Amino acid sequence: MDGVLTVSFAFLLVCTLPVFAGATWLALENGQSVRISRVGVSWFFRETAAHAVVIVLLLTGWWPVSPKRKRKQKDIADIADQTQRVPVLLVHGYSLNRACFTFLQTYLHTRGWDWVWAINHAPRSSPIPVFAKRLGRSIERLCEEAGTDQVDIVGHSMGGIVAAYALKEFGYAKRVRRLVTLGSPWAGSKTHVFSWLREGHDIAPDSEVIGAIKDYSGTTTAIWSRTDHLVIPAESAAPAHADCVEVPHLGHLEMMTSARCFRLVADALLEKDAEE
């Protein structure tokens, strides 16, 4: 029994400490005092719960999987728009893996997307350009498997930066119709100082990777929140070139579990190209 309590306490600390520390830093960055409020307490518990869920999910996603068409599941609501969906490639963030997209992947399947493929970065602890080159090969593979010329990409956190770098620096823009980012630090994040993996250093505001994507101008929807405690400053996730959608009182990992966020992703993916 003592062992179970010890493990439970350790797990609770792992989930709560990053949230508390990030929220404190975010308040100081904004010049605000740390105060207890109903909205703040709700945010804290939701983000802590999201940390717990994602940590458990990570245990199931360390090995890669191949792209596979999954016939859309029957939704509780009728799908009014029966047009063909563009295949979606899901790109995870720092220290995570494909399993963190489990809920979003299921959501998109129930809304009519047959092809939704979540990938892992490899090799682990590598510069972002290495991940970007591998992402490019994944883009080509999904296009080939699905029989399409283009795919859409949804990138969470660092995943959005990896995608933008691949599209701009390695010439894969022609293969991607739209990029949707969730809390991606387009201008870098000060929280990179806590990174223990190599890729985290490329999120520094003055890194070569961040400098390379500053003039990225592809079709982008950026979903972000002022209460994202892992992107500091929070406005880094709202680049000038993108269609920016702010979601109030949303945490960084809650973006992986939030129905509010999932609806915005689906809306962005269904948006028609300007030239159409």
**Domain containing 15: what range?**
1-276
The whole-number pLDDT of residue 276 equals: 46
* pLDDT score at 59: 95
Edge to edge, the sheet with strand 243-246 lists 116-119, 88-91, 151-156, 176-182, 220-224, 243-246
Phi, then psi, of 220 in degrees rounded to 5: -140, 140
Is the Cα torsion angle 225, 229, 231, 235 positive or negative in sign? positive
Q: Where are the alpha helices (DSSP H) in 89-180?
A: 102-110, 128-146, 158-169
User: What are the tokens at 155?
Assistant: 């990138």
Coil/strand/helix, residue 273: coil
Residue type, position 241, single letter: H
Note down pLDDT in tens along the chain; length 276 residues.
667 677 777 888 889 988 988 888 888 888 777 677 888 899 999 999 999 999 999 999 999 999 999 875 565 554 555 567 999 999 999 999 999 999 999 999 999 999 999 999 999 899 999 999 999 999 999 999 999 999 999 999 999 999 999 999 999 999 999 999 999 999 999 999 999 999 999 999 999 999 999 999 999 999 999 999 999 999 999 999 999 999 999 999 999 999 999 999 999 999 875 444
Query: What's the angle, vertex CA 34, arms to CA 28 and CA 36, rounded to 5?
Result: 155
Q: Residue 261 belongs to a domain with what CATH number?
A: 3.40.50.1820
Q: How many domains does the chain have?
A: 1
Cα dist from 148 to 85, 117, 201, whole Å:
11, 14, 35
Query: Using omega within 30 degrees of 0 as the cis cutoff, is the peptide bond preceding 123 cis?
Result: yes
- Joined tokens for residue 214: 């500053």
